[in-house]
Amino acid sequence: MTARRSTARDLAQVAVFAALIAALGVPGQLSLGTTAVPITLQTLGVMLAGAILGPWKGLAAVAVFDALTFCGLPLLAGGRGGPGFFTVQPSAGYPWGFLLGALVIGLLTRAILPRYPLWLGILVTALGGIVAIYAVGVPWTAAVTHIPLWAAIVDSLKFLPGDAIKVVATAVIAKQVHRAYPGLIPTRRSARTDRVPEPDRAP
């Protein structure tokens, strides 16, 4: 019964964060720069998924969102969806990059728990939410639009101010969540502790 309840809770958490990523697309998108890659709030949901749920549930939440969008649901900012937005669009690399970003944030966040120093939280969230996502999205944009990679990198700088704010917001929120709900992301240390039996004590 406990395992079943735990599985149901995990599935609920994945569903909630997939819905959060979708909901953050409701405000729409802002198009700036020379490419057709818009600025959206949905990367905030991706960062929160990795930082709060951890690597595997965070990855699962993004995968659910991506799968539903790929199937045609208009969940990307601006009401976009369908296979084309994962293949031929200049911004197609970013939904794929969301997967890597959530995974990296989750793995690195797990490594700094249970203390979660805020400055480290900001650093690991930036590595996953900016570096990892851009590492997939920017080369894809360059390939699809047939522009030099350096030009795509320069164009991506338009995302940095907003993404920096999202990184700090994610770290602040995640720190409070992990303080209120310790053990939400099981750490390797806690897993080892659970497996080590207590020594026999003399009566």
Q: Which residues pair with 80 in a beta bridge?
A: 76
In a domain, 125, yes or no: yes
Query: Taking 50 as the threshold, does the pLDDT of residue 201 lie above it?
Result: no
* 201 assigned to some structural domain: no
For residue 202, tell me if it sits in a domain. Answer: no
Minimal CA–CA distance to 130: which of 97, 86, 177, 83? 97
- Given a cut of 90, whether residue 25 has pLDDT beyond it is no
Domain count of the fold of the chain: 1
Structure confidence at residue 71 (pLDDT): 93
Tell me if 98 is assigned to some domain: yes
Q: Which residue has the higher pLDDT, 32 or 185?
A: 185
Is there a domain that residue 34 lies in? yes
- Whether 193 maps to a domain, the answer reads no
Residue 11 is assigned to a structural domain of this protein: yes
- Of the candidates 63, 143, 133, 138, which has an alpha carbon nearest to the alpha carbon of residue 100? 133
Q: Does the residue 80 lie in any domain?
A: yes
Would you say residue 94 has pLDDT above 70?
A: yes
* Separation CA 100–CA 46 (nearest Å): 10
| Among candidate residues 39, 22, 24, 19, the one with its CA nearest the CA of residue 137 | 39
What pTM did the predictor assign?
Answer: 0.86
Give buried/exposed letters for 108-130 (b at 16+ CB in 10 A, else e): bbbeebeebeeebbbebbbbbbb
Instruction: Render pLDDT for 97-115 as a digit per residue (tens, 0 to 9).
Output: 999 999 999 999 999 999 9
- Give yes or no for a contact between 45 and 38, defined as CB atoms under 8 angstroms apart: no
**Domain membership of residue 59 as a residue range:** 2-187
Instruction: Report pLDDT for 23.
Output: 93
Query: Per residue in 159-184, pLDDT tens?
Result: 999 999 999 999 999 999 999 999 89
The CATH number assigned to the domain holding 124 equals 1.10.1760.20
